[in-house]
Amino acid sequence: MVPLDTTEIGHTNVRVTRLGFGGAPIGGDRAEVTEEDAISAIEHALELGITFFDTAPLYGHGKSERFYGLSLAQIPRENFVLSTKVGRVLNPVNSLSDMATSSFINPDPFTPVYDYSRDGVMRSLEESLKRLKLDRIDIAMIHDPDEFDSARPGGNFGEPVHYSTAINEAFPALADLRSDGVIKAIGVGMNQWQALTRFAKDADFDCFLLAGRYTLLDQSALNKLLPLCTEKQISVVLGGPYNSGILASDLSLGAQYFYTNASQEVLKRAREINTICERYDVPIKAAALQFGLAHPAVAATIPGSRNQSEVRDNFVMANFQIPNGMWQEIRHEGLIPSDAPTPNTVS
């Protein structure tokens, strides 16, 4: 993998580095991050040549966008690509006791509220631009319109609660902004592939952000979503390449997989992959970061970083030379599907 290579998002003329920067951790996702660490992480990414940055109002209830604003506002605008999201508006609170329960540590004093209406989209983008201190956003994504209502027929297998509003209001609003040149690309970002498949069929999107569903441990998007994206030329950006931490851990009990303790089955499979990686002197983090990028539908991967050291480590892992024999052995042992593409690496 050459992490500083660029690829086009759909047919938009927006080109992103294959290795990007995910903005959830600097919003304090499950661990507090100081302003100093966040800014130094973003600045170091730019120094290394990483120019694709992703964020959302939800991340730290505005904090992630605010930290980006402190870091990017002085950078020539043509020198980076910025994506943010719509679907949550941030309502101010009078006191911290009024804030909704959040996975973000020490978030800014706002409560995020679902709103996929046209007015909600416009308000969200306007407020994001203020926090970002920018005059435009390159990529706008509809964020997590996949909440299910268990009371409806089908429960978790029924229609997402917000799908209708997202497709009938949020998408047309973003499409109008794209036509007017206010934004360059539009997409959807979520943690599951099923609803993305439906979005791909129902509207003209440029990209999807898929978190955790095409990784070394979870290839559930392989057979339906990714071929559809290839056919429709929808670029896929992979979030969560380490599956919320397990593939960047020592694989001990308590390792996090989708933000809960990994099951024995998942730990066993991760350890089997790691054993093969160790035989080839390859860190499992390098394999995790590079695996997804081999699929032709995938444009970029955006691991999150909390500080400068993590940015540097991701960059090193993305550059790590991995022998083809390692991928062949992982495939032979049935640890990845036989039809999952693997990187064309050193022999």
Residues marked as catalytic: 54, 59, 85
Contact status, residue 204 vs residue 231, Cβ threshold 8 Å: no
Contact status, residue 254 vs residue 270, Cβ threshold 8 Å: no
Distances (CA, A) of 108 to 37, 68, 91, 135: 17, 14, 11, 22
Residues 6+ apart with CB under 8 A from 227: 297
Q: What are the tokens at 344? A: 């064309």
Contact status, residue 132 vs residue 125, Cβ threshold 8 Å: no
**In 10 A of CB 165, how many CB atoms?**
20
Q: What are the tokens at 156? A: 């978790």
Q: What are phi and psi for residue 91, nearest 5 degrees? A: -100, 130
Cα–Cα distance, 78 to 15 (Å, whole number): 11
3-state DSSP helix/strand/coil % of the chain, to nearest 5: 40, 20, 40
Q: What are phi and psi for residue 245, nearest 5 degrees? A: 130, -30
Cα–Cα distance, 347 to 345 (Å, whole number): 7
15 residue type, one letter = R
